[in-house]
Structure formats: C-alpha cells, structure tokens
Chains A and B, each alone.
Chain A
Amino acid sequence: MSETPSSADANDIALRSSIDRSLRHPVMFFFTCGALWLAVAAVLGLIASAKKHMPEFLGGCSLFDAGKIDAAHINALIYGWGFQAAFGMIIWLMARLSRKECTSSGIVLVAGHLWNFAVLFGVVGIMLGMGTGVPWMEFPTAVWPVLLLCYMLITIWSLIQFQVRDAGHVYVSQWYLLAAMLWFPWIYMTANLFVFVFDGNPLMAAGIASWFKGTLFLLFFLPVAVASAYFLAPKVTGRPVYSYNIALFGFWTLAVVGPWAGMQKLTGAPIPQFLPYTGAAAMVLILVPAIAVAINILKTVSGHEETVTASPALRFTAAGVVGLLTYGVLSAATHAFGFSLVQFSYTDYGFDILGLYGVFSLCAFGAIYFIVPRITRREWLSRRFISWHFYLSLYGVITVAISAIVGGISQGEGIEAWNQSFLAGAGRAQSYGWGVTIAWGLILLSSLFFSLHLLLMWARLGRRSSHPTLLKGNHAESPHGPEGEVDNYGSATA
C-alpha cells in the first residue's frame, strides 16, 4: 500500500486526483455538516449533563427538558455527526482503494441533504416530545425509513465500485468497509422492524434496542474507524501494514464477537437468561480484536514517532487506536467483574462516549485531516487550530472516561449499597456529573475550532501550497506523500 514518489507515476496521480475531484462535493458536504452537528451535539450534551447535577439549569424552558435533551444529544451525535463522518470516509476510502471515480456524486449529495433534513426533523421532534422512547432510536418513527433509504443511496455506489474494481489486491481497509456497509442495514432494519413494526413482548423490544446500541458501535462505527486507521497508518508512514495475519485475526474476531453485544443492559430482566450473559461475554472478548488492531496499527507506525506527532492525520488516528485499546481493556474489566455495579450508572454512558468520540471520532478527525486537502486542493490554514482541536478533544474524552467510567463504578457501589439511603449513593454521581459537563465543554470548544477550520476549507480558503500543514515548526519535509501531490496536478475545477 506504500507509495513513494518513484513508484507513483503520472497516470496514477492523475487517477487519484480525478477520484478526489469526483467526490469533492459530497465528501466536503458530509464532513462539514457532520462537524456542525457535532457542535450541536456537544451543546446538547453540556445541557443534558448539567441538568443531572444542577436540576434547575434552564428549568423554565420546556424545549430543553431533562430526558428529551439527553435523547436529542445522543441522536444528534450519532446520526448527525457519526454517520455523516462515516459516509465521507466510506465513499472516499472505497473509491480510492478500488481506484474508481464516483459517477453518482449528484445522487449522493441529494441523499446527503435528505439525511440532514431527516436528522433535523428527528432532533426537533424529540425536543418537542414526539420521540419514541427507545434509547438511540428516539427519532419519530417516520424518520427511520428515510434514513435507511438515504443510507442505501449514499453507500450503494461504493459497493459497486468495489465490484467493478480492476482485479487485484483487496486491502484490509476494504474488508472493514465492506463489512460495515453490509452489517449496518441488517442491524438497522432488524432493530426498527422488531421494535416498531412487529408485535412482541415489550421486554424483547427493549432487549433488541440494547442490541442495536451495542452492534451499531461495534459493527458500524468501529469498523469504519479501523478501516481509516489501516489506510492512514501505512499511507502516511510509507510502510506496509505490520502483519497481515494479525489483521485477518482482528477482523474475524470482531465479526464473530460483535453481533452478540448489547443485551447485557438487561441483566436480571425476565428475558431468556443467556442473552445478557452472551452480551457481557462479547463486551469482555472485544478486548481481543481491540488488541489485534492496536498492535497492528501501532507496530506499523512505530519508529516513526516524529511523523505521528507531526502529521495531524496520523496523530488523531494513533490517539483513536489508543482509545480503542483503552475501550477494550475497560470494557473487559467492567463486564467481567461486578457488572451489576455499573449496569445503571454513568459507566454505560462513559463507554458510549469513549467509543463514539474516543475511538470513532478521533479516527474520523484523522481521516478528515488527510482527505480534505486532497479534495479541496488546499492545505489546512492553521497549525494552531489543529493543535487546539487535538488537545481539547483529547482532554475532553479523557475527562469523560475518568468521570463516567471510573466515577460510574463508585456511583454504582453507592446505588447498590441497599442499606444506605439511595440519594447518598446517587449523590456521588453529582460530582462525576460535573466532570462530564466539563468534558462536553472541552469537546464543544474543540469542535468550534474544527468546524471553523473546516468551513474555511469548504469555502476554498485553504492555503495554496505544496507543503502540507504539519504540527511542527518547519515544512521542510512531507510525510503526506510526494511533494505537491495536492496542488500541482491538473486544474482544481472539474
């Protein structure tokens, strides 16, 4: 997968730049709208968290009622930011790796607009009290078929590109992308049909909703993030992936373990007993693919520490991979020992955010810092903005992990101590709640730097330069591929 200036002949570069050009509008649209939704989700998360320890906060405004705002927050984060970042990554990575131009960017763009309207309708619907009351699936029920249709219209072209690619090597990233593209519609249709359409026991509906929560992260967001890491690590360092066999092992363990996750949330509920157990077992075993991916990526970039710190793409990706390792270790520990303590504490939310932000989003930021200069043919404007974005994101997600996951264990102990007053235990959550609020404040700040930077790039105000923006003093050498790859080939307009 490595490309050195000598091997990249002119045809190759021309093909790459024509692929980039064909995808410029949809990918920029997804990334920019996603970044704005991330800022919205951070504001909502800040309010939602503040209300848990300051119940009077914004008390007079029924639009921001507690509960509804939690739902609006997590749905904006998932469907507004998460999916759109994933779409941009999927369509760009798949086109580049299959070496095919996108011939349907118009349809993708239309579907992308529809997706945004549907998410906006859904979030406003939740805030007006029309939500469904199913965690992570709160959008009014009219929204999910629209989202599924948009999803199909956005990703189908990437499947076709893969099918019509010139025969050759299938990259590790492509396994993950293909699998994520196929898993998601199956998961989403199952969850919505079994919860909203088929008539069953309300407990099983709750169980399937929890399964949706577990698998949506493990089998959609995680593979997309890992695909991006498997693309960027070799690409930026210019070395092949450390071990093909570990990659294979990591992929198939995720494929086997992932689909069982989720129902541990219903431990102790009167559903078939094995369901929570297999769910918890999956959350323990997820450590295995996490270690495999982390070893492979970190081994690939080891020895290139300078590149990892200097390249924004690689720095974010490496942070995301470390996030994945942390996720695996903490998940295995909490689900193996004393899950009853954390079943209904902040810990669960901590895992949601560590996964969605500390793993997926950090990898997505890495991909965005790599992709955007190529499709806009402009370099990032400000090293300082990228640094601020990085450190605020990192401190934000570390604060969430410490307050919610570790704090949640203490909160859980308090709640489980049956012979003490409940509020004495729940009161412990108040201080950790402050931590979560502060974390969302940090993430909000970071996402302001990020969105502003991205908007400027979208407006094509990036630097016209053949030197990529690196997080170090001079621009003498470029780890981002050959000099001038961005600027010197062909006209910027189609």
Chain B
Amino acid sequence: MKFKAFIFGLLASFGLPWLLAIVVPFSTMRSLDPAKYAGIEIDGGEGIYIPKRDGRISEGSDVYGQEGCYYCHTQLVRPTYAGSDVWRADWGGLKKSADNPDTRRETLSTDYDGEKIAHIGVMRVGHDLSNLGRRLETNLKGTQLSPETWMFLHLYNPRGIAPYRKNSQDREERSACPSKPGLFNEVSKNIAGFDALPVAAPEGKAIVPSDRARALVSYLVSLKKDTLEQPVPQDLNYNPIQPVAK
C-alpha cells in the first residue's frame, strides 16, 4: 500500500461520511423552513407555526446540563415506529379525558429552540421529561402546591413529598431520584421570607432555592411539548395511533 493511496483512502472513507452525516445535515437543520398551519378548521391554527414557551429556557437548560439530569432522564417522545413513548399515559401529552382532548404528540424539531443542545438523554432511569410541566400542572390542580414549589421540594428531597400523580397507574411509585442539595442554600429565617421551603431546617434557619435552582425549575415547568395550548400544523402532527386499550 503506497502512502499516498493510504492517505487518499483515509480522506475518502472519512471525508464522505463527514460531509454527508455532519456538514450537510447541520446546514439543513440550521435553517428549516417554518411549518404552516393548514387553517383554523383543519388543524386549529393560522399562518406560520411559532412555538411558544415561557420561562428561563436558555439558562435553565444550561443548569439541566450542568447538573447532569440527562444521564437519567430523556426528553424525546419517539414516533411509534421507534418506540412506545406516545402510548404511555402522559409522556407525550395528556390522554383524552373529560377535561381535555387527546393532546399527545411526538417531539418536533422546534421543541428545543432556545437551548444550546437538545437534552435527548442517555438513559431512562427516570421518566421522560418532555411533558413534565404539563403533568405537574394537571396533577397538582386543586392542591396547595404550585408546580414550582413541588419541583423545589422534589429536588431538595425526592422522597419527602407525595408523588404528584393522583389517579394514575404510578400512584404507588416512590421516586428513585437522588436529591440535589447543592441547588439550595441555608439562610437565616428572617431573610428567607416567602422563599423558604416548607421543609425541616435548623432552628432559626430556612432552606431557600438558589438562583440556579430557580432557573432549572422554571425550565422544567416549561416542558409542555403537547398540543393542549398550541395546536401543531397537521404536517407535523402524526396523531398517535390509538392502540387497542389494555
């Protein structure tokens, strides 16, 4: 094998996949054409689909990454050919009920806008979080806890509070999530005020969430990647096939 032929072989065998699997898809994906609604009566929207999301998305997504949440949680609702995510009770959205239509959908390419990297995730030791905000909002309705407070309490001590699901099949579940004490500060009770979490603290002290915890929780409760508040153009919404129920 001649040296020149060797180098040429390496350039070709690596350069081609590099162009086809990295460079070209990268430039395609950075300027996707926005999706258009088909019309109010067809898919419930008009004009161009602009995903809406409230909260400290960019900051919170960074904290999510820094804390390594993606090692145990995913954020990907796969199409039915690739997995059963949309069929699970509330991962892809809400099942049809008296209060809401079927809001489930797959993950869209715009779902991670504003984040530096899509936290697809490594493993599912815990739940998929694509619709964590939606689950919290629905399940905590009528209780004293706001989604934010529930999240703070969960991060501080995951097994110190009752699960948020009231009627679901996971009623009995005990969280297996390790706590994140590093996200909270212990301050004097006098300056904590309304920020103090309702948890045990030493005499005269209170536990308050740090700014990073606030950003993270703001991001987490913003995870509502379904069609409840904002319909999705029909081109992007492959309504999940309703499997023959259990």
- A201 and B178 in contact, given A195-B117, A418-B88 (Cβ under 8 angstroms): no
Residues from chain B with a CB closer than 8 A to the CB of A69 are: 68
Stretch at the interface among A31-39, A98-106, A207-215, A226-234: A207-215
**Taking CB as reference atom, which chain A residue is nearest B67?**
A67
B9 at the interface (CB under 8 A from A): yes
Partner of A134, one of B32, B65, B113: B65
Residues from chain A with a CB closer than 8 A to the CB of B122 are: 70, 135, 344, 348-349
Contact indicator B68/A66 (Cβ below 8 Å): yes
User: Which B40-63 residues sit within 8 Å CB-CB of chain A?
Assistant: 61-63
Contact indicator A51/B18 (Cβ below 8 Å): no
Q: How many whole Å from A435's CB to the nearest CB in chain B?
A: 15
Partner of A340, one of B3, B82, B120: B82
Contact indicator A204/B177 (Cβ below 8 Å): no
User: Which B109-126 residues sit within 8 Å CB-CB of chain A?
Assistant: 109, 111-113, 115-126
Contact indicator B178/A56 (Cβ below 8 Å): yes
B84 at the interface (CB under 8 A from A): yes
Contact indicator A133/B29 (Cβ below 8 Å): no
Contact indicator A202/B112 (Cβ below 8 Å): yes
Residues from chain A with a CB closer than 8 A to the CB of B243 are: 418
Contact indicator A272/B25 (Cβ below 8 Å): yes
Instruction: Give the bracket for the number of chain A residues in contact with chain B.
Output: 35 or more
In the bound assembly, the distance between CA atoms of A132 and B158 in angstroms comes to 25
Q: How many whole Å from B224's CB to the nearest CB in chain A?
A: 17
Contact indicator B67/A62 (Cβ below 8 Å): no
Contact indicator A209/B66 (Cβ below 8 Å): no
Stretch at the interface among A260-268, A378-386, A461-469: A260-268
In the bound assembly, the distance between CA atoms of A69 and B66 in angstroms comes to 11
Residues from chain B with a CB closer than 8 A to the CB of A423 are: 170, 173-174, 176
B76 at the interface (CB under 8 A from A): yes
Contact indicator B66/A131 (Cβ below 8 Å): yes
Partner of B1, one of A68, A130, A170, A268: A170
Q: Is the interface of B mostly helix, strand, loop or mixed?
A: loop
In the bound assembly, the distance between CA atoms of A161 and B83 in angstroms comes to 51
Contact indicator A133/B1 (Cβ below 8 Å): no
Partner of A422, one of B61, B123, B127: B127
Q: How many whole Å from A102's CB to the nearest CB in chain B?
A: 21
In the bound assembly, the distance between CA atoms of A131 and B22 in angstroms comes to 24
A369 at the interface (CB under 8 A from B): no
Contact indicator B123/A346 (Cβ below 8 Å): yes
A43 at the interface (CB under 8 A from B): no
**Taking CB as reference atom, which chain A residue is nearest B163?**
A423
In the bound assembly, the distance between CA atoms of A249 and B81 in angstroms comes to 35
- A271 and B82 in contact, given A67-B67, A133-B70, A206-B118 (Cβ under 8 angstroms): no
Stretch at the interface among A6-14, A82-90, A174-182: A174-182
Q: How many whole Å from B164's CB to the nearest CB in chain A?
A: 14
Q: How many whole Å from A338's CB to the nearest CB in chain B?
A: 11
A391 at the interface (CB under 8 A from B): no
Partner of B82, one of A126, A268, A422: A268
Partner of B120, one of A129, A206, A430: A206
- A55 and B83 in contact, given A66-B72, A68-B66, A202-B113 (Cβ under 8 angstroms): no
Q: How many whole Å from A197's CB to the nearest CB in chain B?
A: 11
Residues from chain A with a CB closer than 8 A to the CB of B27 are: 200
B108 at the interface (CB under 8 A from A): yes
A278 at the interface (CB under 8 A from B): yes
In the bound assembly, the distance between CA atoms of A59 and B176 in angstroms comes to 12
Contact indicator A421/B123 (Cβ below 8 Å): no
B78 at the interface (CB under 8 A from A): yes
Q: How many whole Å from B37's CB to the nearest CB in chain A?
A: 18
User: Which A254-286 residues sit within 8 Å CB-CB of chain B?
Assistant: 255-256, 259-260, 263, 265-272, 275, 278
A71 at the interface (CB under 8 A from B): yes
Contact indicator A204/B68 (Cβ below 8 Å): no
What 0/1 pattern do residues 155 to 174 of B give for CB contact below 8 A with A?
Answer: 00011000000000110111
Binding site for A on B (CB under 8 A): 1, 3, 6, 9-10, 13-14, 16-18, 21-22, 25-30, 32, 61-72, 74, 76, 78-79, 81-85, 87-89, 106-109, 111-113, 115-127, 158-159, 169-170, 172-183, 212, 243, 246
CB pairs A–B below 8 angstroms (7 shown): A65-B180, A129-B66, A170-B3, A201-B112, A259-B14, A268-B83, A270-B108
Closest CB pairs A-B (n = 8): A133-B65, A67-B68, A62-B182, A268-B78, A268-B82, A259-B17, A66-B178, A201-B29
Q: A426-B126, A430-B176 are in contact. List 14 more A-B contacts (CB 8 A).
A: A51-B178, A55-B159, A65-B181, A134-B117, A201-B112, A202-B117, A255-B13, A259-B21, A268-B81, A268-B83, A269-B118, A340-B84, A423-B170, A423-B174
